[in-house]
Amino acid sequence: MASIPFLIAVAVLISPCAGQQLYNNPVLDYSAPDPYVTLHEGFYYLILSTNNQLVVHKSKVLTNFRDAESKAIYNLPAGKGQLWAPEIHFLYGNWYVYFAMGDANNVPSNRMWAIRSNSADAMGEWTAEAVR
């Protein structure tokens, strides 16, 4: 029951007040559902799915990816859909991205997939084919 007063306090704090300006996302200037961030060797790597692609952003600053280096590392193949919730991890000298993907218009077909970088550089080349 202790969580109910906390939830009420949070609801009051985030509810819009008359005359306030709209909230501006301090990290990106566009919608980025299911983001994932990791820190590696002094850089933050943000991965997200947008426009049927997986895009990696690299920044020294966690709170601003607007001017960060970015690269589309995977494009949704024909006949596939529901590209969701990517995660990026550095393991054994390569980067790996795990994500959910399924057949177009068939949510129950979603499965976990993975792609691997060809080097220790997340902004370099990646495998073109996802494996599950």
Q: Residues 16-23: what's their mean pLDDT?
A: 62
Q: Identify the pLDDT of residue 132.
A: 65
- pLDDT tens string 25-57: 667 776 777 899 999 999 999 999 988 899 999
As a whole-number percent, the residues of the chain with pLDDT over 70 amount to 78
Q: Is the pLDDT of residue 86 over 90?
A: yes
* Residue written as token pair 């691997």: 116
Q: What backbone phi and psi angles, to 5 degrees, belong to 3?
A: -75, -20
The number of beta carbons lying within 10 Å of the beta carbon of residue 48 is 23
70 three-state secondary structure: strand
